[in-house]
Amino acid sequence: GAAAGRPDGGAGPDPGAGVRPVLEPRLVALYGVGQALMAEVQVGRRAYLYVRGQAWPAGHVGDRGVYQLRGMNGACVQLERGEDRHSLCLRMLLGEVRP
């Protein structure tokens, strides 16, 4: 959705914003079978698609601002950005579901 109000022409930080919130990556979905695994991860309002065996998400090769894929198995995805590391697992995604 579009933000209401005047369009912001400046590229600098918003003086009223204070400290920028840390956006935690969230595992949205895991696709694929066997070795051909892909993970969809949401950071803030942006979604990134990681492919097993490729460090960078699709369309963001070399982008220092995004998390790099460190590992992926059947249910978990390991992401890293400098000292910031996350292990996102499918059970977190399915936590609300009861059989």
Amino acid 16: pLDDT? 47
Residue 43's alpha-carbon distances to 1, 4, 33, 38, 47, in angstroms, are: 17, 22, 24, 16, 6
Amino acid 75: pLDDT? 82
**pLDDT tens, position by position, 19-65:** 656 789 999 999 887 778 899 999 999 999 999 999 999 999 999 89
CATH number for 25-93 (one of 2.60.40, 2.30.30, 1.10.150, 3.40.1130): it is 2.30.30
pTM over 0.85: no
Rounded to a whole number of angstroms, the CA Rg of the chain reads: 16
